[in-house]
Amino acid sequence: APVVRVAPSILSADLLNLGRDLEAISGADFIHIDVMDGHFTPNLTFGVDTVKACKRASTVPLDVHMMVTNPDESVSWYLDAGADMVTVHLEAARHPHRIVSEIHAAGAQAGVVLNPGTPACALDSILEDVDMVLLMSVDPGFGGQSFIEGTIRKISQVRSMARERGKDLLIEVDGGVSAANVERVVAAGADVIVAGSAVFGSADPAREVARLRELGTP
Ligand code: DX5
Ligand code: ZN
């Protein structure tokens, strides 16, 4: 099996030392940026200027997770800002296929996201068209929440759906992933793991990225 990809979430970084923290994760596979609008999620976080600032500061590909109502209206801003991967929630997108086409037309990779309460079958009509499916393993809004166990079964379900359709698909898992559960998450079929508090809450974020990758690689 290929090496698991690690995407540290800057939600848990030290914002007053973001440059230092980006430097510390220069060995990561993606920088995960949580865009929250205070409507789709209770919390309010980063916007397009943060994405631009990360683009200037790092060569690591940017994985922009849009937790906003009506991403149809704002997806182009994040593409212009330099996102390499953009994921939109199926619970929020009005026209998911149109958004995915727009992302691809800009030369970026596209993904759709499911909240813990949304069943895997919601992917039925879009699976073939995306590069990645992001499965939330916590209800979105905050870092440091605990992993919802039912996600393991959902990861396997999406992995089987992709296999049945002969679709080459990345599965990313976001929320409560740490050294304690990364092996099980990857064994169920995940290719990319997001880790916020696990990486930035550790004394040595660079080492934690390497450790998660090692633990997650069979
Ligand atoms: C939650 C965000 C996550 C969050 C993960 O709404 O989408 O990306 O940063 O944080 P941890 O890894 O601490 O659960
Ligand atoms: Zn996220």
Q: Which of 30, 67, 145 most suits a substitution to test ligand 1, by most atoms within 8 Å of the C-beta?
A: 145
- Predicted pLDDT at 2: 81
Q: Which of 29, 37, 63, 174 is catalytic?
A: 174
CA quadruple 195, 206, 57, 31: dihedral, nearest 10: -20
Helix%, strand%, coil% for the chain, nearest 5:
40, 20, 40
> Which structural domain, as residue segments, surrounds residue 16?
5-216
Chain mean position to CA 120: 17
Annotated binding-site residue numbers for substrate: 9, 65, 141-144, 174-176, 196-197
Q: Mean pLDDT score of the chain, rounded to an integer?
A: 98
Q: What is the CATH number of the domain that holds 195?
A: 3.20.20.70
Give the C-alpha separation, 56 to 54, whole Å: 5
Q: Determine the residue type at 203.
A: A
Each residue of 146-180: pLDDT tens digit? 999 999 999 999 999 999 999 999 999 999 999 99
SS3 124: coil
Q: What phi and psi, each to the nearest 5 degrees, are found at residue 53?
A: -65, -40
Task: State the closest ligand 1 atom to the C-alpha of 43, by its place in the atom list counted from 1.
Answer: 6
Q: Are 192 and 172 in contact (CB under 8 A)?
A: yes
Q: Which ligand does the CA of 9 lie closest to?
A: 1
Q: Determine the residue type at 94.
A: R
Give the C-alpha separation, 19 to 8, whole Å: 14
Give the C-alpha separation, 13 to 123, whole Å: 31
Q: Is the pLDDT of residue 40 over 80?
A: yes
Instruction: Tell me whether residue 124 is one of the annotated catalytic residues.
Output: no
User: Structurally, how many domains does the chain consist of?
Assistant: 1
* Centroid of ligand 2 to alpha carbon of 42 (angstroms): 14
* Centroid of ligand 2 to alpha carbon of 162 (angstroms): 22
- Predicted pLDDT at 1: 61
Distances 53 to 25, 38, 155, 188 between C-alpha atoms, Å: 15, 21, 33, 35
Each residue of 69-85: pLDDT tens digit? 999 999 999 999 999 99
Give me the mean pLDDT over the 86-107 stretch.
Answer: 98
Look at phi and psi of residue 50 and say left if phi exceeds 0, alpha if psi is from -120 to 50, else beta: alpha
Provide the ipTM.
0.99
